[in-house]
Amino acid sequence: MRCLLVEDDEMIGESLRDALRRQALAVDWVRDGRAADAALASERFDAVLLDLGLPRRSGLDVLKALRARGDATPVIVLTARDALADKVAGLDAGADDYLVKPFELDELLARLRALGRRAGGRAETALQVADLRLDPATREVSRGSRAVLLSAREFALLHALMERPGAIISRAQLEDRLYGWGEELESNAISVYVHQLRKKLGDDRIHTVRGVGYYAGEPKG
């Protein structure tokens, strides 16, 4: 999952960005409303974590502008404003969720997973492709009855592929899902993670379409 974090407080922003990256989320962080507008206009994100009290342009105005141009990117408001009127204003402006600071990271992660399920039209938490099962909530992966231990990046890559079984996802799309701005990225990183996944899961669940990308599922043709 690739998230845009919009937070002007340096300490909160840095702490939250680092915590989410440790969960293998790709996080891009901007510190004011104008920068958020520019990022949302030029990049695709799976979710936006939006503070309301921002310099240069308020978070509420950023949210209204996003919805006014028909952008349905899920938005979770993260703010210290806990008054009922503020919550109603945020939700009526188009927020999908509203979380009051301070909050626990586990709760934020659970809300992000819920948004992901909603966007994918799923009710179940776990993803299943043939005998391969991945549960984002527990971070457990299994093939048949065998549990499989994955690193954070391996898990994130497999998650991205299993969300759209059979769909070919390009290397660039996978890089966007796994890495935020400024993170070190080696040119062969995706190939290395795919190789590691095949060693752990077997060669018959993740497939390469040469020059195009990768997909999870049964072999095509």
Outline which parts of the chain fall under CATH 3.40.50.2300: 2-119
Instruction: Tell me what pLDDT residue 138 has.
Output: 85
19-65 pLDDT per residue, tens: 998 888 889 999 999 999 999 998 889 899 999 999 999 999 999 99
What is the share, in percent, of the chain residues with pLDDT greater than 90?
62
Write b or e for each residue in 187-206: b if 16 or more Cβ atoms lie within 10 A of its Cβ, otherwise e: eebbeebbeebeeebeeebb
Residues of the chain with CATH 1.10.10.10: 127-216
pLDDT in tens, 193-204: 999 999 999 888
**Architecture of the domain whose range is 127-216:** Orthogonal Bundle (1.10)
pLDDT mean over 147-151: 93
- The token pair at 58 is 């308020």
Q: What is the pLDDT of residue 203?
A: 87
Which DSSP helix (H) or strand (E) runs through 42?
Answer: helix 33-42
Burial of 78 per CB tally in 10 Å (0-12, 13-18, 19+)? buried
Assigned fold of 2-119: Rossmann fold (3.40.50)
Higher pLDDT, 180 or 9: 9
Q: What is the pTM of this model?
A: 0.74
